[in-house]
C-alpha cells in the first residue's frame, strides 16, 4: 500500500536532513502529516513552550534506557520507515496498515499541551497530530467496544532497553472509549513543525494531556478495540503505584512522593515549584468523564 502527498521535501525536512538519505526515509511516514506554520488549536495552552532541545533530550522511554538522557543518546538506530500498524478487535476495518494509509485524510493541527510526569516534573510541548477520535471513526468502532488498547514496537535489536527485564515488553497502554473519543486526545506525529524524533515516540504516539505521561504510549504498532479493560504496563508492574486511569490528581500522592506540586523543566535554577492542577488544568473538558467515580480508588 502506498500514500501520496503534494508536499515537497523542502516543506517538511531541513536542508541538512534532505542530504541524508536515512533521515529522508525516516521522515517519509510523517510526510503526509508534517505541515509548516500550523495554526494553534483552540485547545492549546497559553504557556510558553519548552525548547526543542529540552523536549528532545529529557525523556522517559525505557526501551532506550532508564536515564533521562538515554533516549536521545540511544534512539538513533531505530528505523521508523516503513511502519505498519495492526488494527484489530471490535472494529469494522481491521488490518495491517501502512502508517501513511492509516492516517491519510485526517486533519492535522498543532496543539501546545501541558505535559505532566508522574515523577512531578512537567513541560509545555507543541505537538502536531490529529484527534484519535477521527482515526477511530475512520476505522469504524463497533457498538460493543468499550476500550482502546495500544502496543509499542518490540525490536530489541534497535531498542536496547528491551534486552533487559525492566518492564514486561512490549509496552502496553489503554483508554476507556469515551476518553479516546474526547477531542483532547491526540495521536502525535510531530513537534515544533518537525517529524516526531525517535526519542519522543516516532513515528506515532498517543498524547492524553490530562493524564500522567506514562499513558502516552510511543512507537505504536497495534491498536485494539475491546470490551474488556486492557492490561497496561505500569499497572501490571506496580498496581499500587500506577492505576489504569492515571488522571493527574494533586490529592492522590504516589506512594513514594507527593503529587501536589511540580517542577517545570527549563524554568531556571531558582524557580520555585508550582501547584499541580487537577486533570493537569483540563478539568473543564474532561471532568464530566469521571462524574460519580471515586478518583482515589480509580487513580
135-147 mean pLDDT: 98
Alpha-carbon distances of 103 from 29, 98, 113, 134, 155, rounded to whole Å: 10, 9, 21, 9, 23
In this structure, of 13-22, 75-84, 85-94, 261-270, the range with the lowest mean pLDDT score is 13-22
- Range name among 7-21, 36-50, 205-219, 273-287 with the lowest pLDDT average: 7-21
What pLDDT score was predicted for residue 240? 94
Burial 123-134 (b: 16+ CB within 10 A, else e): bbbbbbbbbbbb
What's the pLDDT at 37?
A: 59
Average of per-residue pLDDT values in the chain? 90
Lowest mean pLDDT among 134-148, 230-244, 262-276: 262-276
Residues 164-176: pLDDT tens digits?
999 999 999 999 9
- Sketch the domain layout of the chain as residue ranges: 9-290
Cell of 147: 476500550
Q: What is the pTM of this model?
A: 0.87
Average pLDDT, stretch 232-254? Answer: 96
pLDDT value, residue 66:
97
What is the separation of C-alpha 5 from the centre of its chain, rounded to a whole number of angstroms? 24
- Assign residue 65 a region (left: φ > 0; alpha: ψ between -120 and 50; beta: otherwise): left
| Domain 9-290 fold | Sulfite Oxidase; Chain A, domain 2 (3.90.420)
Q: In 3D, which of 84, 83, 63, 85 has the Cα closest to residue 224? A: 85
Amino acid at each position: 500500500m502506498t500514500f501520496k502527498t503534494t508536499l515537497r521535501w523542502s516543506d517538511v525536512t531541513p536542508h541538512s536532513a534532505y542530504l541524508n538519505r536515512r533521515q529522508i526515509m525516516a521522515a517519509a511516514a510523517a510526510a503526509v502529516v508534517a505541515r509548516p506554520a500550523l495554526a494553534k488549536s483552540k485547545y492549546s495552552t497559553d504557556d510558553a513552550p519548552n525548547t526543542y532541545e529540552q523536549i528532545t533530550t529529557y525523556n522517559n522511554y525505557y526501551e532506550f534506557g532508564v536515564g533521562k538522557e538515554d533516549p536521545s543518546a540511544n534512539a538513533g538506530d531505530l528505523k521508523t520507515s516503513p511502519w505498519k500498524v495492526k488494527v484489530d478487535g471490535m472494529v469494522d476495518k481491521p488490518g495491517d496498515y501502512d502508517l501513511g494509509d492509516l492516517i491519510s485524510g485526517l486533519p492535522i493541527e498543532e496543539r501546545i499541551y501541558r505535559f505532566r510526569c508522574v515523577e512531578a516534573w512537567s513541560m509545555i510541548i507543541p505537538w502536531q497530530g490529529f484527534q484519535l477520535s477521527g482515526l477511530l471513526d475512520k476505522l469504524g468502532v463497533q457498538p460493543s467496544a468499550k476500550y482502546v488498547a495500544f502496543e509499542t514496537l518490540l525490536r530489541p535489536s534497535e531498542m536496547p532497553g528491551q534486552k533487559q527485564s525492566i518492564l514486561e515488553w512490549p509496552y502496553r497502554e489503554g483508554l476507556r472509549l469515551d476518553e479516546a473519543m474526547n477531542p483532547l486526545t491526540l495521536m502525535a506525529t510531530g513537534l515544533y513543525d518537525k517529524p516526531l524524533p525517535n526519542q519522543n515516540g516516532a513515528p506515532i504516539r498517543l498524547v492524553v494531556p490530562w493524564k500522567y505521561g506514562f499513558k502516552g504510549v510511543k512507537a505504536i504498532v497495534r491498536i485494539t478495540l475491546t470490551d474488556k479493560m486492557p492490561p497496561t504496563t505500569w499497572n501490571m508492574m506496580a498496581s499500587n503505584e500506577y492505576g489504569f486511569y492515571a488522571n493527574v490528581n494533586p490529592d492522590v500522592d504516589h506512594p513514594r512522593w507527593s503529587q501536589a506540586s511540580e517542577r517545570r523543566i527549563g524554568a531556571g535554577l531558582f524557580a520555585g515549584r508550582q501547584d499541580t492542577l487537577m486533570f493537569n488544568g483540563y478539568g473543564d473538558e474532561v471532568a464530566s468523564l469521571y462524574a460519580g467515580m471515586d478518583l482515589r480508588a480509580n487513580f
